């Protein structure tokens, strides 16, 4: 079985919201939006397939935006994916979903549809727009009825950290299939995530017990411990153990940057990670992704450069979130600002 390679593909910036924290609009909420045209989309798709052929990987596409459904060639792209028998995930908004649309998505091979929930009603609607909270919860049912897995993602910051337990209760009550959270990555506007390391550890501890309680009750929601600092938490608790046969120099887990994902923007820019500001490594209209991977991407795989993690026994399993670190300090290899571990 070949290893998957994930392409987070932003086909358009077009969006019905202008969220306060969004990396697309943080610098200028009225900026012109980019979108790929059909020829560019088709060429990009084959560039990705070429990459996977060269490196023996299986492509997996996370189609996103903006709201990807607003792209005029959205369905045409899904048809192209289907013709190659490539299932995919959509990261989008709730506003243009209904039962018929969800059934159509399923027919084209959509496995998961990810929606965002950034707090309880007042907070979420403040980040996003009035009515967004209720619409998001309502559309979980549409997605599920079509046989697609509904994923709820929360972007955690100082603004909503206290509401996460209530968010978990809400998404489990609405029957979301997967719940995860990731941290706000500082953009040029707001440099601080507003969370101390102690507060973040407390959040993981609280969530760990809530997840356990729901699992014991037979709750069907899968809690995806996406943030790599979960490894630190579970290591301290004795739940995660460093394998005895682990070999030096091999990255067994942790941040995927430079290992198994890349991001493509609507203007063709290829990024090491969408969350890492200024991580442009090429442009898919001009560059062969397979070449970029061994040239420009090399700078994201110098594990000895991690200022704190390189001295930590969890280097091969964690590395925190370099996007959060880089957003705060400008240095991808700086210490994760929420990592609470003392490393000497």
Ligand X SMILES: C[S@@+](CC[C@H](N)C(=O)[O-])C[C@H]1O[C@@H](n2cnc3c(N)ncnc32)[C@H](O)[C@@H]1O
Binding partner of residue 341 among ligand SF4, ligand X, none, CB under 5 to 8 Å per kind? ligand SF4
Binding partner of residue 25 among ligand SF4, ligand X, none, CB under 5 to 8 Å per kind? ligand SF4
Give the Cα separation of 270 and 280 in Å (integer): 6
**Rounded to the nearest whole angstrom, what is the least distance from the CB of residue 115 to ligand SF4 in the complex?**
10
Give, to the nearest 10 degrees, the angle between helix 197-216 and helix 229-236. 70
Residue 163 or 336 having the CB closest to ligand SF4: 336
Residue 24 or 281 having the CB closest to ligand SF4: 24
- List all residues 6 or more positions away from 212 whose beta carbon is below 8 Å from its beta carbon: none
Q: Does residue 6 contact residue 60 with C-beta atoms inside 8 Å?
A: yes
Binding to ligand X by residue 135, rule CB under 6 A? no
| Residues forming a β-bridge with 152 | 115, 179
Binding partner of residue 320 among ligand SF4, ligand X, none, CB under 5 to 8 Å per kind? ligand SF4
| Residues forming a β-bridge with 12 | 35
Residue 44 or 93 having the CB closest to ligand X: 93
Binding partner of residue 108 among ligand X, ligand SF4, none, CB under 5 to 8 Å per kind? none
**Rounded to the nearest whole angstrom, what is the least distance from the CB of residue 217 to ligand SF4 in the complex?**
31
Residue from 5, 9, 23, 61 binding ligand X (CB under 6 A): 23
Give the Cα separation of 292 and 274 in Å (integer): 16
Residue 17 or 329 having the CB closest to ligand SF4: 17
Helix (H, G, I), strand (E, B) or coil at 38: helix
Residue among 173, 107, 114, 179 nearest 146 (CA)? 107
Listed ranges 19-27, 210-218, 233-241, 281-289: which one lies at the site for ligand X (CB under 6 A): 19-27
| Region 273-332 residues binding ligand X, contact defined as CB under 6 A | 275
Fill in the DSSP letter of residue 12.
B
Binding partner of residue 153 among ligand SF4, ligand X, none, CB under 5 to 8 Å per kind? ligand X
Residue among 256, 263, 302, 293 nearest 52 (CA)? 293
Where residue 290 falls (left for φ over 0; alpha for ψ -120 to 50; beta otherwise) is alpha
Binding to ligand X by residue 92, rule CB under 6 A? yes
Residues that bind ligand X (CB under 6 A): 15, 21-23, 64-65, 67, 91-93, 116, 153, 155, 184-185, 187, 275
């Amino acid at each position: 079985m070949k290893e998957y390679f994930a392409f987070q593909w932003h086909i358009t910036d077009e969006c019905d919201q202008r969220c306060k924290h969004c990396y697309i609009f943080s610098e200028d909420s009225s900026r012109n939006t980019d979108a790929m045209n059909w020829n560019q989309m088709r060429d990009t798709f084959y560039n990705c397939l070429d990459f996977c052929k060269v490196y023996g990987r299986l492509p997996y596409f996370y189609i996103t935006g903006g709201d990807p459904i607003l792209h005029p060639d959205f369905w045409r792209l899904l048809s192209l994916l289907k013709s190659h028998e490539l299932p995919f995930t959509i990261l989008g908004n709730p506003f243009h979903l209904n039962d018929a649309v969800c059934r159509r998505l399923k027919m084209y091979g959509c496995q998961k549809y990810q929606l965002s929930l950034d707090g309880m009603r007042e907070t979420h609607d403040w980040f996003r727009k009035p009515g967004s909270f209720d619409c998001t919860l309502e559309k979980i049912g549409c997605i599920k009825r079509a046989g697609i897995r509904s994923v709820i993602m929360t972007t955690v910051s100082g603004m909503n950290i206290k509401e996460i337990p209530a968010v978990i209760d809400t998404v489990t009550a609405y029957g979301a299939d997967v719940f995860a959270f990731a941290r706000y990555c500082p953009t040029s506007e707001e440099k601080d995530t507003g969370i101390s390391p102690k507060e973040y550890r407390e959040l993981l501890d609280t969530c760990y017990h809530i997840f356990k309680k729901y699992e014991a009750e037979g709750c069907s929601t899968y809690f995806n411990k996406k943030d790599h600092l979960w490894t630190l938490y579970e290591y301290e608790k004795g739940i995660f153990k460093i394998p005895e046969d682990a070999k030096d120099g091999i990255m067994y887990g942790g941040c995927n940057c430079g290992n198994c994902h890349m991001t493509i923007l609507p203007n063709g820019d290829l990024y090491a990670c969408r969350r890492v500001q200024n991580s442009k490594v090429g442009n898919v209209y001009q560059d062969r992704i397979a070449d970029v991977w061994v040239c420009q991407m090399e700078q994201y795989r110098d594990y000895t450069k991690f200022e704190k993690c390189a001295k930590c026994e969890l280097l091969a399993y964690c590395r925190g979130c370099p996007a959060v670190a880089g957003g705060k300090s400008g240095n991808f290899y700086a210490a994760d600002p929420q990592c609470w571990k003392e490393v000497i």
